[in-house]
Structure 1
């Protein structure tokens, strides 16, 4: 099994006629993921790499029973694209767009939560389920198999690039992944670490979860409280990057928009303490993930030959 995406996912790409989308579509199709439709207003009737293009999401849903949307549009159009998908009953939306106006981000996330929609992102590389050859977003680029192989470990990462790197570390340890997810580097995102832990807890094939975290936000502290309340009981391994940032001026942004320390919010040291107090295994060195996985996962499921 996996979480969120599987063989039953029927995908539409909003903004499919754009240059970036064309590249993502090419890589996605080459991986084996089926894309049922694309949407670009005014471009209905065209085809992109064999995929029919419609003017509206409503048309795509009606003709192809779409249940998931990948949004690759400019920042100014992201809000309308998300709301259009939500209005058509789509419950899984991956928003790759970065630099969305903050007011728009607040609105789209509010509507999504109200309607029970899972938003991955904004500003995300997406997610991948290697067992079913299913991916949404640019994750893995044109060679996903270098890092993402089927197995029994879930991956959650704030950083897009480190989603792949962490999955590769799991591969090096002799394991593979059920689902790897880049949740996005912004301070305002849809599905958080806590939300994903709840899904991984229910997934029978996921035996452990590894996270790559950054300074900023309270996502890790929220996940720790969720663990303390009994919401997640499987081995949880975490690396929190950016410890050096605590010695720099408060309010400095380090890379991602969400990687900012303010007072005691977002400090790596406090994230690490909260996770350890909740029972997580917090590694000091990134490479330690390999040995810890070998120790805490009881059997070598998904072993790489």
Structure 2
């Protein structure tokens, strides 16, 4: 059951060409997530993982129609990245970055809310609609399609809960 993301959701990756952004974007693409491009300042016009790279979120949204951003930028820049996504019309930012300054994120989340953008994170494992769309760092193989919703503050406990639910014959 999908609520926020599904197989048709167009996703960009902020911090696309960095090591973490690259690794997890590859995993998401392999899962079937519709990654339509990424953003890395000063690398616009290049291609990475077979997808276009843009200098700004606005450029990426205008070119691809993306509505969701998976954020993998360093902690010092994550608040600015979230506000840039909100300014560009992104509807949902999934902020994987850990170690983000608390006050910066309070301001960024308030800005996002004021501009109509939902946020998940920071320092989160992401969001998944089983067999459709994985945005984040979760191991997709433990999730099976079903009608149980699972929300958790802990990444590892999310995986354990999902594994137990699915092993009992239900799906997430």
TM-score for both structures, normalised by structure 1: 0.55
Query: Considering only aligned residues, what root-mean-square deviation do their CA atoms show, in Å?
Result: 1.0
Larger Rg: 1
Which segments of structure 1 move beyond 2 Å, counting only runs of 4 or more?
Answer: none
CA distance in 2, matches of 1:29, 1:81: 22
Match of 1:176 in 2: 171
Q: Given the alignment of the two structures, is residue 137 of structure 1 paired with residue 132 of structure 2, yes or no?
A: no
Unaligned runs of 5+ residues in structure 2 are none
Match of 2:126 in 1: 126
Match of 2:87 in 1: 87
CA distance in 1, matches of 2:33, 2:116: 25
1:165 to 160, 163, 166: 160
Equivalenced residues, count:
172
CA distance in 2, matches of 1:128, 1:53: 24
CA distance in 2, matches of 1:58, 1:90: 9
Larger RCO, structure (CA 8 Å, separation 6 or more) = 2
What secondary structure is seen at the aligned counterpart in 2 of 1:122?
coil
Displacement of 1:32: 1.3
Unaligned runs of 5+ residues in structure 1 are 178-305
CA distance in 2, matches of 1:20, 1:8: 24
- What is the CA deviation profile of residues 50-70 of structure 1, one whole-angstrom value per residue up to 9, with x for unaligned ones? 011010111111111111101
Match of 1:286 in 2: none
CA distance in 2, matches of 1:25, 1:85: 18
CA distance in 2, matches of 1:50, 1:111: 33
Displacement of 1:139: 1.2
Displacement of 1:27: 0.7
What secondary structure is seen at the aligned counterpart in 2 of 1:149?
coil
Match of 1:155 in 2: 150
CA distance in 2, matches of 1:102, 1:92: 20
Say whether the 8 Å CA contact 2:13–2:37 is kept in structure 1. yes
CA distance in 2, matches of 1:55, 1:99: 24
Q: Which aligned pairs between 1:228-239 and structure 2 lie closer than 5 A?
A: none
Q: Given the alignment of the two structures, is residue 109 of structure 1 paired with residue 109 of structure 2, yes or no?
A: yes
Match of 1:251 in 2: none
- What is the CA deviation profile of residues 75-126 of structure 1, one whole-angstrom value per residue up to 9, with x for unaligned ones? 0110111011100111100001111112201101111222222100010110
TM-score for both structures, normalised by structure 2: 0.96
Q: Which aligned pairs between 1:1-305 and structure 2 lie closer than 5 A?
A: 1-131=1-131, 133-140=132-139, 144-145=140-141, 147-177=142-172
